Structures are given as structure tokens and as C-alpha cells.
Copies of this chain bind each other. A is one copy, B any other.
Amino acid sequence: MTQPVGDTCVLALDVGGTKLAAALVGPSGEIVRSVRTATPVGAGPAALFDLVLALLRDVAGYSTVCGIGVGCGGPMVWPAGLVSPLNIPDFRDFPLRAALAEVYPGIPVRLHNDAVCVAVAEHWAGAGAGSHNVLGMVVSTGVGGGLVLDGRLVVGATGNAGHIGHVVVDPSGPVCACGGLGCLEAIASGPSLVRWAWEQGWQPVLAEGELADARRLAADAVVGVPVAVAAFARAGWALGVAIASAVAVTDVEIVSIGGGVAQVGPLLFDPLAASYARHARLGFSARPRVVPAALGQDAGLVGAAALVLAGNRYWTAD
């Protein structure tokens, strides 16, 4: 275990609908200490924020820290850091960045979308390390991403660049949670996969307490249940179309895909590769590698830390 190195450590926080995680992160992105806990539901914003502070105190211990990096579910007002994570009703326009800055005066507090943090981590220390142009994606309950171009995180006009989940892959396709039609997320997210499988007659035999969720659908796909295999093939097809479109516009050299749905492996990545090859036919667009993310569940924490530790590349506000 690496020891904390005085004031070059930072605190990292990952605020998700399922779990809260915090870590003390060393100067090269190594996690010194981390804690995680289930996200409480219905406790109210003050109690939820108190829990966040308790997690940060736990991992900080007696270390001096030089900044705080936060990844949080969207949407949010960025860079102000008013957060309204879809899956955390207790936070609605909650001033997470300002509240942390009040508790930790004198050090930078930086916050981004959690999928952006994962993309940053993949560029800083994961599958995109050494590349200057990277699209990092998370395929999970939603489909999100972040974009590094010419070696720097791109944020766009409102901090929302990288929303590949809302690239249109089938304009006559299913209605998306955003209200649009045929978005990638409406086909490839975990809940979309499960919904489609149900519609096609998926009948999982569930153990007591087990949910008919994307994890179970993946397990069925791995043992060859046809409808489950078809669901992941359809998601892979949609991912290939969306990535072909995104690469045409951004000319990235590597696309890294993490998140729970991506853990199914070749059942997703093989149809993805076929679809991508069918649609990306220009020299530059056929060239990028599309690979599984290299970092695991700590990616969000590492990326949040990088907002401070490598702010020249990943932080453009203030």
C-alpha cells in the first residue's frame, strides 16, 4: 500500500445512485484508502451531505490534502456544481461543490459528471493512456461518456460534451428517457436491454431475491439463452453505429467502454465490432481501437482525483 505523501494527496468522491465512494488518492492516481457505502434513500439533502462528509473524513484521516475531486451523476449545472442526479431524489439543485468548498476552505473543489470522470481516468491511467484523442464510455443504467481531444478534456458550451448515450442510432427506434427517439441509451443501457428481452419473451428462472436485471440477462447470455444473446447483440449493434457517428465528428483514436453492461465481453464487443466496421468506412474512422475499459470500479474515483491532480488537462473552468 502506498503511503500518503503530505499535501500532494487529494480526496476523491464518487456520488452515484447505488453507492457513495470516497478515497484518498496519491499524486500518481494511486488509491491510498477508500470507503464505500450504499446511497441512502429518502434521508434528505442535509443527512446525505453529512454522510458524504463522514466518508471524506474517514479516508482523509490525518493527511493533509491539496484538493477535492468529485464525480456525480447528472444532470448538473456545471461548473457551478448544482447537482440533480436522476437516481438520487434527495439531491435536487443541491450546491455540492459550494457546500464542500465551505467545509474545506482554501483548496480547490472540482466536480464533473461521473461518466466524464471515468473517461478522464481512462485517458490518465487506463486504456487511453498515451493517446491524445479518447472517447471514454460507461454503459450501465445509463449510457454516458467523456471526450478528450488534443490531450485535453473537452467540456463544450455547458459542460455536457461526451453525452454519447443520446446519439441517435435508429431514428424510428424506441422512445428514450430523454424524450427523444432511437437514442443509443434507449437500446444499449441495462434497463433498455432488459425491457427489450422481456418484450421478446425472456423468461428467467430466478432464485429467491434475485432480480430480472441486466446482470441476470448477461448470465443467461453467457450460457447461450438465445433471447439474451440477441439482446446483447442488438446493444452491440447500436453501440457500433453510435461510435461510428461519434468518431466521424471527433476523430478519436481510441474508444474505451466500461460499465456493468460491458462486462459481458465478446457477446457485446463482437457484434459491436461488426457494426462499427460496416458503418465506419473512411480511413480515419475505421482506424480507432474500440476496447474494454482498463480500470475497474475505482475509475470514477481516479478520474475525480485527476480533475485536481492533472487539472491542466482535465479542468478548464474557474
Interface residues of A (CB under 8 A from B): 75, 131-133, 145, 147, 149-150, 152, 154-171, 176, 178-183, 241-242, 244-246, 248-253, 278-285, 287-288, 316
Contact = CB atoms under 8 A, between A and B. Distances in A.
B244 A245 contact: no
Nearest to A176: B281
A26 to B, nearest CB: 29
A282 B75 CA distance: 9
Nearest 9 Cβ contacts at the A-B interface: A156-B251, A179-B281, A157-B253, A161-B251, A166-B248, A160-B284, A167-B245, A133-B157, A158-B284
A137 B252 CA distance: 19
Contact of A167 (B158, B159, B248, B278): B248
Copies of this chain, complex-wide, total 2
A118 to B, nearest CB: 16
Nearest to A288: B157
A163 B132 contact: no
B252 A285 contact: no
Contact of A250 (B75, B161, B178, B283): B161
Contact of A178 (B156, B178, B281): B281
A318 to B, nearest CB: 14
A245 B171 CA distance: 11
Given A181-B279, A245-B245, A285-B163, A316 B150 contact: yes
A251 B132 contact: no
Nearest to A280: B180
A172 to B, nearest CB: 9
Contacts of A150: 152, 154-156, 316
B171 A252 contact: no
A167 B131 CA distance: 23
